[in-house]
Structure formats: C-alpha cells, structure tokens
Amino acid sequence: MCSSDLNRHYLDHASSSPPRPEVISAMTDWLEQAGAGDPSRIHEDGRQARAAIEEAREKVAALLGTRARQVIFTSSGTEAANAAIWGASRAHPGASIACAAVEHSCVIRPAARMAPVVELSVDKSGRIQAEDVEELLAGHRGGKRPVALVNCQWANHEIGTIQPVEAVVSRCRDAGVLTHIDASAAAGHVPLDLEGIGADLVSVSAHKLGGPLGAGALVVRRGLRLEPLLMGGTQERARRAGIENLPAIVGFGAAAEALAGGGLEREAATARQFTETLLTQALSVPGTSALGDPRARVPHIVCLGIEDVLGEAALIALDHLGISVHSGSACSSESFEPSPVIQAIGADPNRSLRVSVGWSSTAEDIDAFSSAFPQVLAELRALRT
C-alpha cells in the first residue's frame, strides 16, 4: 500500500497551513460575483474592489492589534521582510543590520545583501541574548558602530521558541534604532498587540494561519516613511507598487476574521494540548529530546532531536505511513542545506524532526504520529545493527 492510499495526517502546518473553509468561500465568492474592477479606479467596479480590500485590511489589523492604516498588503511574508530590510538599509546607508542565525532565510539573506551584518548570539533554546543587543546599541549610541536595523523574530519557525520581543523593541526605541519583527510563525497562533509593542516594522504571512498562499503584510509604525521595495504605481499608499492580489487579500481577511471573537485563543489551547501530548509521547521513546524551549514557545510547534537516526529517513518513513512532518536535515527541502537554526542551538539538524499542528488538526493526527514514531525509530535503528 502506498502513502496515497492512506488517510493522511498533516502535521506540517508551520510550513503551510491549508486554507480554512471560510477562506475558500470568501475567495470563490469574490471571483464568481465580482467584476474585474481595478481598486485604484473611481468607477463602481473599482469602488467595490477598493471596499473589499479595506474590509480585509480592517480584519487583519484587528488580528494583529494595530490600526488598519499601518497594514500594507504584500505577496508574502518574505516580500514583507525584504521590504522592511530594504527600506531600513536605504534610510541608513553603510550602517549594519543585526540578526541572529535563527532568523528565517527571508531575513538573513536580504540583510547580508544590503549591509554589513552583526550576528546576535542565541542560547541553547534559540533565544537572543539581551547582552548582545545592549552591546550593539552601546556602540551605536557612541557613534562607533551605526546600526540601521535590529531583527528579532517573534517566534522561531523551526523550534517554536518565543523571543524577548518587547524588551528588544524597547531598547532599540530608546537608542533610536529601527526594529523589524518577523511575526509569521506567531501571527494567528498567539495574541499580538503590535500597537502596544511599538515595533517599527512587522512582517506576517497569510498561509501560516490558514489563509491563502500569495498574501502577506508589512505593518509600518505610524509616521515612519521608508523607500518602498517595489516602485511603479501608488498602490498601498505608495508603499508597495503593483495591482493588489484582491482574491488573496479577501482570503487573508477571512482567515483573520475566523480567529476573532476568541477563535485564536480556542485554537491555541487545542494546539497546546495536542503538542504537549505529542511531546510526552515522543520523549518517552529512548534517544529523543526536545529542541528549543519546551514551555516558552508558540503552541503549535515542537521540534525533536533523535539520536542515531537521520531525520530525513524518519520523515520518509512517516510519510509512507501517511504522516507529514518536516526535518531540518539536508535534502529534506529544496534548499539542500541543513537548518542553521538547529545548528545555532548546538544540535544536529540532520537528526531532527519538526511537528506542527494547525486549525484542521485532530486528535487522530496526534494519535497516528504517537503510534508511528516509536515504530519508525525502532525499525530504522534495527537497520543499523
């Protein structure tokens, strides 16, 4: 029996979560009923399109705890992060950009292309060290080491560890240094109060929380004007050129609305219950450990270290049993490079598995993994002997 004949158990929501029914309904309704109006035009069709975008913007802003005018729609979290780094580096040419090795590649790679990079160290849980930030800012205040931007992800996309975002933003604000928060792994999974945190730039992605592919947002602090990454028209208040992906934006708004009224809290509680059960079961298997902070983490992600077994082999074996997970090992994704996140915390990325739940996860999914995981490790270890 091949894996396609099995009931699938999708446990890779941290990579991409399937679109919610509300999202599919909202997008198909728009595609079927709306015209082809350009939202930049003042005729009736254009006004309908503009109204749909602004309604979605209000819903996304409510989810993120910010004002609608601060939300700039993009094609993805990756584009939003690139736009943040581009704008900050252009505003402060020659100044350095700070980021830790645990940041997503959509932060690390554009930072390295745009400016000298200062690497912030992390502890064994993958958390930024406040001392490094303080030292960096001291040099900036003294005029010896100017800093254009400090990156601090809200939560790690592989090990789930939550970063000291509020403390980092506060210190950078006092020093007059811009901050960018990659909140793609956190948005829709933990409550966000972006207005209260006061970060200058925050990037988020729709498909990580049950929205559509092809939609993201960059939240820009009130009063901050930076050079846009994409230039041409004056869409998104001249902050991001190009006609808006209206169906995806409508879907993003529907996903945000589904999490309103206590929806996020209910889903987070269920996700926490699922991953705690999963951790308990997995850690009962000899040679298995938890990577990252097992408590101060987003509720939907757990990462496991596995001795004597390659993560890629375990991933393939689980896939044949109908279970989808992710590994930080080389060749487990299109990058063909081991995870720098797992390396940064001193663990072996080639012997790791990430399991992540989402809005559509069920107790049966958790049971399937908990039953298959010890079996898979036992069989793979038996092959070595």
Tens-digit pLDDT profile for residues 318-359: 999 999 999 986 555 566 678 999 999 999 999 999 999 999
Q: Name which of 214, 276, 278 is nearest 245 in CA terms.
A: 214
Mean pLDDT of the chain: 93
Given pLDDT bands bounded at 50, 70 and 90, which one contains residue 5? Answer: low
pLDDT digits (tens, 9 = 90+) for 225-234: 999 999 999 9
**106 annotated active-site:** no
Strand-pair partners of 10: 324
User: What's the residue count for the chain?
Assistant: 385
Q: Which of 2, 152, 172, 331 is catalytic?
A: 331
Q: Is the pLDDT of residue 20 over 90?
A: yes
DSSP label at 154? S
- Is 118 found in the same domain as 10? no
The residue with tokens 């064994």 is 124
For residue 108, CA distances in Å to 53, 117, 119, 184, 316 come to: 31, 9, 10, 15, 29
Domain CATH code at residue 30: 3.40.640.10
- Residues 246/30, Cβ–Cβ less than 8 Å: yes
The pLDDT score that the predictor gives to residue 64 is: 98
Does residue 250 share a domain with residue 278? Answer: no
Interaxial angle between packed helices 130-141 and 165-175, expressed in degrees from 0 to 180 and rounded to the nearest 10: 10
Three-state secondary structure call for residue 187: strand
**Residue 247 and residue 351 in one domain:** no
Choosing from 258, 282, 309, the residue where a domain stops is 258
The total number of structural domains in the chain stands at 2
214 lies in the same domain as 241? yes
What mean pLDDT is predicted for residues 124-142? 91
Considering the domain architecture, whether residues 146 and 186 belong to the same structural domain is answered as: yes
Check residue 131 and give its pLDDT. Answer: 85
Q: What is the pLDDT of residue 334?
A: 60
The range of the structural domain enclosing residue 335 comes to 3-19+262-384
Q: What is the pLDDT of residue 236?
A: 92
With CA atoms as reference, report the closest residue to 219 among 249, 177, 256, 181: 181
Which residues share a beta bridge with 356?
Answer: 12, 301
Whether residues 84 and 181 share a domain: the answer is: yes
289 and 249 belong to one structural domain? no
Same domain, 201 and 58: yes
pLDDT 10s digits, 55-91? 999 999 999 999 999 999 999 999 999 999 999 999 9
Q: What is the pLDDT of residue 36?
A: 72
Q: Show which of 258, 288, 311 is a domain's final residue.
A: 258
Q: Based on the domain organization, do 360 and 233 belong to the same domain?
A: no
**Residue of 130 and 298 predicted with greater confidence:** 298
- Span 166-179, mean pLDDT? 95
- CA–CA–CA angle 86, 90, 96 (5° rounding): 85
**Same domain flag for 159 and 181:** yes
In this structure, what CATH number is given to the domain that contains residue 312? Answer: 3.90.1150.10
pLDDT band at 35 (very low <50, low <70, confident <90, very high): low
Give yes or no: residues 323 and 244 share one domain: no
Which of the two residues, 72 and 42, has the higher pLDDT score?
72
Same domain (yes/no): 248, 269: no
- Final residue in a domain of this structure, among 258, 292, 311: 258
Q: What percent of the chain clears pLDDT 70, i.e. is strictly above it?
A: 96
